[in-house]
A = this chain, B = another copy of it.
Amino acid sequence: MPSNIEPLELHPDRLFSSDPSVVAIARKLYESIKDLPIISPHGHTDPRWFNENENFGNATELFIKPDHYVFRMLYSQGIPMTDLGVPEHGLQGDMARSKAADPEKVWQIFADNYHLYAGTPSGYWLDAVFSDVFGFTEKLCSENGQHYYQKITAALATPEFKPHALMDRFNIELIATTEGALDQLPHHRAIAGSAMAKRVITTFRPDDVVDASREDFIDNVIKLGEITDQDTTTWQGYLAAIQIRRDYFRIEGRATATDHGHPTALTADLPTAECEALFEKCRTGHSTEQEQELFRGQMLTELAGMSIKDGLVMQIHPGAHRNHNQAVFDQFGRDKGCDIPSQTEYVNALKPLLSKYGNHPDLKIILFTLDETTYSRELAPLAGHYPSLKLGPAWWFHDSPAGMLRFRQQTTETAGFYNTVGFNDDTRAFLSIPARHDVARRVDCRYLAELVANHQISESTAQTLAYQLTYGLVKKAYNLDK
């Protein structure tokens, strides 16, 4: 691959379309909303950062190791994960460190292969961070790889790059992290009463105590009983314990939402006796795969019932086949870029839950998908009818310029704009948050500009909508305006 040094310039009109008449309108819309604060209602940053406010480590540790988007592309081109410093499963402490690749060497591999990211959202976010956050003016390549590494690593050690300083610099009004049901939320509690408390909240994600296919489920249910002082060997005790944890997340972690990452969108509404029998099988390790699936489905309905009572907004994120690559999973463990979307059905799957609670005025469910075929066929018609349903933004593999555009093109005509909920970055890559929100703002302005240029909406309506899509709808959807 040729690797001549190229200038790194972010064009002010990037992502606004190639059509000058659209660009002119998009630019005006964007000008009016680009400086609105960032609301990040769903993501995976580490709450420790916001509590302890310590500097980040080196460039490799920040950009490559934790970002499975980045190393999945390198891996797909035949670069072994061990060369990228991905720690092997089971190796911990000194042992893991001694096997870890030299971070400068890992960075150089990344630099040598940076051309692979052309046209991908990872490439776009990285360029934006390198330019806007670190001030680089040359695109990363083999020749300047070490210069990049040194400059980034040096910058990370300065006070301007501590988490709190970045929160201000990035104009983040609010960020939600995500914690499992057993988490005691030490960092969220530690900041209580400080200015940061209004800006950093948690999200209740109970998959670890709901998904009986997990190897740690039985242990987790026992621990759930211990920390809530409930008898989680009974169905009623188990439900009570979950409700206690929800209250804890709401009060101690200021949570306004829950999140549920199930393989499918299946829901169920079984009689109590069947729930008890099913829970007993799951709790004691005697459940089949089908029973585990049914249990997850029943729990979505139970959790919806709890949401009606305590007001937590429910997020359902179905459709990922997790850890598809068996060899990588065995060697390196979970979350190594081996999750693959699969076909997802909503219309029949959600019916039991919706029949029970779908018309309740106090229920709010935000639906996500990895299967774009459901946008126009299932999700927009469902959200365009049920008062409890809203559409989450383009997610994960579709959190990209073309992916976001397809989301709007395929949902707006049936669901309108007001049944959507603004943008989620869903990321653990803290430095990329402004770039990700900026992509969403640009693409939304482009979509609105196309409607204006095509004489489908007026410029004044587009202006109102740009504000709503950036700021108004997300605050309302996640109960952050209360």
Stretch with Cβ within 8 A of B (4 or more), from A91-99, A214-222, A396-404, A425-433: A396-404
Stretch with Cβ within 8 A of B (4 or more), from A71-79, A147-155, A287-295: A71-79
Q: Is the CB of A341 within 8 A of B378?
A: yes
> A276 CB to closest chain B CB, in angstroms?
25
Known contacts: A76-B383, A401-B413, A413-B120. The answer to whether A351 contacts B324 by CB under 8 A is yes
Within A428-461, the residues touching B (CB, 8 Å) are 449-451, 453-458, 460-461
Cβ-neighbour of A76 out of B343, B386, B410, B464 (below 8 A):
B386
Binary CB contact string for chain A from 1 to 13 against chain B (1 if under 8 A, 0 otherwise): 1101011001101
Bound together, the chains give a CA A17 to CA B451 distance in angstroms of 9
Bound together, the chains give a CA A402 to CA B398 distance in angstroms of 19
Q: Is the CB of B72 within 8 A of A116?
A: no
Binary CB contact string for chain A from 320 to 343 against chain B (1 if under 8 A, 0 otherwise): 010011111000000001111111
Binary CB contact string for chain A from 411 to 425 against chain B (1 if under 8 A, 0 otherwise): 011111111000000
Q: Does A145 contact B (CB under 8 A)?
A: no
Q: Is the CB of B456 within 8 A of A14?
A: yes
Q: Does A230 contact B (CB under 8 A)?
A: no
Binary CB contact string for chain A from 107 to 124 against chain B (1 if under 8 A, 0 otherwise): 000000001111111001
Q: Is the CB of B14 within 8 A of A454?
A: yes
Q: Inside 8 A of A347's CB, which chain B residues have their CB?
A: 321, 324, 340-342
Q: Is the CB of A416 within 8 A of B120?
A: yes
Bound together, the chains give a CA A13 to CA B455 distance in angstroms of 7
Q: Is the CB of A413 within 8 A of B119?
A: yes
Q: Among the interface residues A75, A139, A351, A402, which one has the most CB atoms of the partner chain B within 10 A?
A: A402
Stretch with Cβ within 8 A of B (4 or more), from A254-262, A306-314, A365-373: A365-373
What would 17 A/B residue contacts be, using CB atoms closer than 8 Å? Answer: A1-B464, A11-B455, A16-B454, A18-B22, A73-B416, A75-B385, A118-B465, A119-B417, A119-B451, A121-B413, A324-B354, A324-B385, A325-B386, A326-B355, A343-B377, A376-B403, A401-B454
Q: Does A409 contact B (CB under 8 A)?
A: yes
Cβ-neighbour of A327 out of B4, B359, B455 (below 8 A):
B359
Q: Inside 8 A of A401's CB, which chain B residues have their CB?
A: 413, 454, 456
Bound together, the chains give a CA A412 to CA B121 distance in angstroms of 10
Q: Inside 8 A of A398's CB, which chain B residues have their CB?
A: 376
Q: Among the interface residues A121, A449, A464, which one has the most CB atoms of the partner chain B within 10 A?
A: A464
Binary CB contact string for chain A from 372 to 396 against chain B (1 if under 8 A, 0 otherwise): 1100111011111111010000000
Closest 8 CB pairs of A and B: A18-B453, A14-B455, A11-B455, A400-B413, A326-B355, A78-B387, A342-B347, A119-B412
Q: Does A361 contact B (CB under 8 A)?
A: yes
Bound together, the chains give a CA A19 to CA B20 distance in angstroms of 8
Q: Is the CB of A2 within 8 A of B116?
A: no
Q: Is the CB of A337 within 8 A of B385?
A: yes
Q: Inside 8 A of A343's CB, which chain B residues have their CB?
A: 345, 377
Extra 8 A-B pairs, beta carbons < 8 Å, given A119-B417, A120-B416: A17-B454, A75-B385, A116-B416, A119-B416, A325-B385, A372-B377, A381-B397, A397-B413
Q: Does A21 contact B (CB under 8 A)?
A: yes
Bound together, the chains give a CA A156 to CA B384 distance in angstroms of 30
Q: Does A358 contact B (CB under 8 A)?
A: yes
Bound together, the chains give a CA A386 to CA B458 distance in angstroms of 45
Q: Does A129 contact B (CB under 8 A)?
A: no
Q: Inside 8 A of A451's CB, which chain B residues have their CB?
A: 119
Q: Among the interface residues A73, A337, A339, which one has the most CB atoms of the partner chain B within 10 A?
A: A73
> A352 CB to closest chain B CB, in angstroms?
10
Q: Inside 8 A of A78's CB, which chain B residues have their CB?
A: 361, 387
Q: Does A53 contact B (CB under 8 A)?
A: no
Q: Among the interface residues A338, A361, A386, which one has the most CB atoms of the partner chain B within 10 A?
A: A386
Q: Inside 8 A of A400's CB, which chain B residues have their CB?
A: 413-414
Q: Inside 8 A of A387's CB, which chain B residues have their CB?
A: 75-78
Q: Inside 8 A of A76's CB, which chain B residues have their CB?
A: 383-387, 389, 415, 419
